[in-house]
Amino acid sequence: MLAAAPGERLKILRDILGLTQDQLAGLSGVSQPWISEVETSSRDASEDKLRQIAESTGTPLGFFAVAPSSVPLDSLRFRKTARAKKSITRRVHAIYGESFRVAGNLSDAENYPAPSLPYAVGDDDLADTQVEEFAQEARESLRLAPDKPIPHLTRALERAGVAVAPMVLPNDQDEERTAIGHFGVSYWEGLGDPALIGYFPGHQGDRDRFTLAHELGHLVLHTFRPRVAQLQAEAEANRFATALLVPLSRAESELSDRLSLTDYARLKATWGVSIQALIMRGHSIGSIGETRRKSLFVQLSAKGWRRQEPVVVGHEAPKLLWTLLSRRFGPRPYLPAAEELAIHPTVLRSIAPTPAGSNSLPSTAARSEHGRKVVSFPGARAALQHG
Task: Tell me the mean pLDDT per 10 residues along the chain, length 387.
Answer: 76 93 97 96 94 96 85 63 71 91 94 95 93 98 97 97 90 46 84 93 89 96 91 94 98 96 97 97 97 97 93 94 96 95 93 73 36 42 35
Query: Does 125 map to a domain?
Result: yes
Single-letter residue type at 292:
R
Query: Does 306 map to a domain?
Result: no
Same-domain status, 140 and 34: no
Query: Does 15 map to a domain?
Result: yes
Structural domain ending residue among the three candidates 217, 252, 287: 252
Same-domain status, 38 and 91: no
Same-domain status, 199 and 97: yes
Contact status, residue 324 vs residue 164, Cβ threshold 8 Å: no
Structural domain ending residue among the three candidates 43, 68, 93: 68
What CATH number corresponds to the domain at position 30? 1.10.260.40
Per-residue confidence (pLDDT) for residue 372, from 0 to 100:
41
Same-domain status, 33 and 138: no
Nearest Cα neighbor of 212 from 196, 235, 230 is: 196
Rounded CA-CA distance 339/9 in Å is 16
Contact status, residue 222 vs residue 190, Cβ threshold 8 Å: no
The 10 Å Cβ neighbour count of residue 151 is 18
Query: Does 116 map to a domain?
Result: yes
Domain count, the chain: 2
Same-domain status, 105 and 243: yes
Same-domain status, 10 and 146: no
Rounded CA-CA distance 241/192 in Å is 24
> How is the beta sheet containing 312-313 ordered, strand by strand?
312-313, 372-375, 367-369
Query: Does 338 map to a domain?
Result: no
Same-domain status, 138 and 85: yes
Same-domain status, 131 and 241: yes
Residue 139: give the domain boundaries: 77-252
Same-domain status, 29 and 110: no
Same-domain status, 44 and 105: no
Per-residue confidence (pLDDT) for residue 282, from 0 to 100:
97
Query: Does 45 map to a domain?
Result: yes
pTM: 0.88
Per-residue confidence (pLDDT) for residue 311, from 0 to 100:
94
For 203, residues 6+ apart whose C-beta sits below 8 A from its C-beta are 176
Same-domain status, 97 and 233: yes
| Measured torsion, CA atoms of residues 244, 248, 251, 257, in degrees rounded to the nearest 10 | 130
Query: Does 341 map to a domain?
Result: no
Same-domain status, 90 and 218: yes
Nearest Cα neighbor of 313 from 374, 385, 236, 254 is: 374
| H/E stretch holding 165 | strand 162-166
Structural domain ending residue among the three candidates 252, 278, 296: 252
Per-residue confidence (pLDDT) for residue 349, from 0 to 100:
94
Query: Does 314 map to a domain?
Result: no
